[in-house]
Amino acid sequence: MKRIVTFGEIMMRLNPEGYGRFVQADRFEASYAGGEANVAVSLANYGNDAAFCTKVPAHEIGQCAVNALRHFGVDTSSMVRGGPRLGVYFVEKGASQRGGKVIYDRANSAIALAKREDFDWNAILAGADWFHWTGITPALGGELPEIVLDALKKCREKGITVSCDLNYRGKLWTREKAGEVMSRLIPYVDVCIGNEEDAADVFGIHAEDSDVSTGRLNQEGYISVAKQICKRFGCKKVAITLRGSLSASDNNWAGMLYDGEKAYFSKNYLIHIVDRVGGGDSFGGGLIHALLKEWQPQQVIEFAAAASCLKQTIEHDFNLVSEAEALTLAGGNASGRVQR
């Protein structure tokens, strides 16, 4: 069994019930999630030895976050305890022509205030085959860019494969700061994951003749983005999610994998969305699982796209589908009929 370690922030997610707006809510549903934690849950559900590393408070709310991961079989033994608070984010789901909204309340969270000495990467990465992080983590500031770099150098020393989802968040840092920091970190990455907006915002690499706001996507433009990332940073593979937003409720969804020589595109899915938050993370989890299984490139990207399609039909951030369910959809069974 392959061992994957992911590193980042886990937060409490609060959202109004159903499709209610923030200003309508007199109660909020609570769940726990974060980019790298979401990936760990996906990988655990597929039967992998998945571990998540972060820093959370030593009080009961911190324990709730730990318990949420343990519930799905994620190894939490390397999570550091301490710090003042758990980060929080609020989600208002969109519908039809009304877009969704996310509001962060994560300043001075335990992980944002973490120190380099909190993490013994030699011990955390012992026995690991894969390490995954996202651009959200260094964006939290403090010592996190250096903490991530420490982990990446240890991975290089140990021969551990590294993946990164660019995940640019404009509410956390500027494009200029993101480009500066990520340009120092991405050369340690073997598999780079993102979308056309991430590549443009972080590195100024644009997919020509594409416009996500109108749903127009140009395959050649995405191939060019992947080639430029590989050439500039030495990544071995680049995976890109292709989302065409018809409305907040209905999206076209597909993926592309570039293996350094050839680009492979998945089939397209028209998704009627239940909850799109975590969709990119479920794509990353599916991609990592399929690559670790050493499937052929076309099967890899079909699995990743199918897994993330299914996630967007599930409430909250975690992708709660099995390998068999994702393979069934990837194989062409998209009827959605009741399984008896």
User: Structurally, how many domains does the chain consist of?
Assistant: 1
Which domain, by its residues, includes 319?
Answer: 3-330
Looking at residue 216, its pLDDT comes to 56
Residue 338 falls within a domain, yes or no?
A: no
Residue 269 sits at φ, ψ, to 5 deg, of -120, 135
- Flag whether 337 is in a domain: no
Instruction: Please write down the long-range contacts of 203-206, taking CB distance under 8 Å and 24 or more positions apart.
Output: 203/179, 203/228, 203/229, 203/232, 204/179, 205/229
Q: Is residue 250 part of a domain?
A: yes
The answer, yes or no, to whether residue 136 has pLDDT greater than 60, is: yes
Q: Hey, what's the torsion of the CAs at 54, 55, 60, 65, to 10 degrees?
A: -20
Residue 340 domain-assigned (yes or no): no
- How high is the pLDDT of residue 336? 76
Q: Give pTM, 2 decimals.
A: 0.95
- pLDDT for 3 equals 98
Q: What percent of the chain has pLDDT over 90?
A: 89
Query: Which tens digit of pLDDT belongs to each residue from 254-290?
Result: 999 999 999 999 999 999 999 999 999 999 999 999 9
Residue 7 lies in a domain: yes
Looking at the domain assignment, is residue 279 inside a domain?
A: yes
* Residue 309: strand, helix, or coil: helix
Residue 134 belongs to some domain of the structure: yes
The residue-averaged pLDDT of 332-340 equals 74
Q: Is residue 339 part of a domain?
A: no
Q: Which CATH number fits the domain that encloses residue 19?
A: 3.40.1190.20
